[in-house]
Amino acid sequence: MASALLSLDRIGKTYGGAGNPIVALAAATFDIEAGEMVAIMGPSGSGKSTLLNIVGCLDRPSSGSFRLAGTNVAELADHDVSSMRGRKIGFVFQTFNLIPTLSVLENVALPFRYRGEAEAAATDQSMTAIRRVGLAHRSRHRPAELSGGEMQRVAIARAMAGGPDVVLADEPTGNLDSTNSHGVLDLFDEINRGGTTVIVITHSEEIARRCRRLIELRDGRVVADRRGA
């Protein structure tokens, strides 16, 4: 049997000194297979953001093993972790994280520039992603000229442009009204149907229902892991 796309084995993360440690994660263990759509829920302080940072290769655990596509991330040098993150993971944040001085096209193409890819190929792939989210007519606009829903679509296009294995979304509808929230969730459904693994950090019961698996955290521990029909 092929290994899971993401595999966490007794992941722990502790902050602070030995005299007053803060346990953000404790022995988190689960696998996520390629093509899954997973919601991770829990109250504030439950460890969701810490888990996102580890799964997104933005931080390293204090203990345990995390494998991405079969590779033990702990064994990689920092520059190799950055390279893997750039190739395999796309991020979507609640606050969009768009650069205000850049156009839609330039924002979506930014990860390609960081990787040193040819401008023509970066532009072509970026425009494909922008068309996919229905914003080709906005490609020359800057973020200030867009609605909140449009800015989140740009963020999704940026996450998808390089063809990642995993899209990690952190409260992606937190700043949107219900209409734009539904549109963003429809995009995640479409992305997932195309074969990309989608992991959503959320407080929203609606998002959890749209996903086909729910992992719940409390006090840094996985307390439930349920799959839907």
Supply 208's token pair. Answer: 């959890």
Specify if 137 maps to a domain.
yes
Domain membership of residue 211 (yes or no) is yes
Distance CA 118, CA 122 (A): 6
pLDDT by residue (tens digit) across 82-134?
989 988 999 998 889 999 999 999 999 988 887 778 888 889 999 999 999 99
Would you place residue 8 in the very low, low, confident or very high pLDDT band (cuts 50, 70, 90)? Answer: very high
For residues 152-160, give the mean pLDDT. 94
Boundaries of domain holding 91: 36-58+85-227
Using the predicted structure, report yes or no on whether residue 32 has a pLDDT greater than 70.
Answer: yes
What confidence score (pLDDT) does residue 174 get? 86
Q: What is the pTM of this model?
A: 0.91
Residue 165: which residues within 8 A CB-CB, separation 6 or more? 5, 34, 69, 88, 89, 196, 197
- Rounded to whole angstroms, the Cα distance separating 190 from 107 reads 22
Evaluate whether residue 66 is within a structural domain. no
Cα dihedral: 31, 38, 88, 97 (round 10): -140
Residue 170 falls within a domain, yes or no?
yes
Average pLDDT of the residues of the chain:
91
The verdict on residue 19 lying in a domain is no
Q: Structurally, how many domains does the chain consist of?
A: 1
Has residue 96 been placed in a domain?
Answer: yes
Q: What is the pLDDT of residue 2?
A: 55
Whether residue 229 has pLDDT greater than 60 = no
- Label residue 1 by pLDDT band (50, 70, 90): very low
Determine, yes or no, domain membership for 134.
yes
Query: Domain with 143 in it: what CATH number?
Result: 3.40.50.300
d(CA 12, CA 223): 15
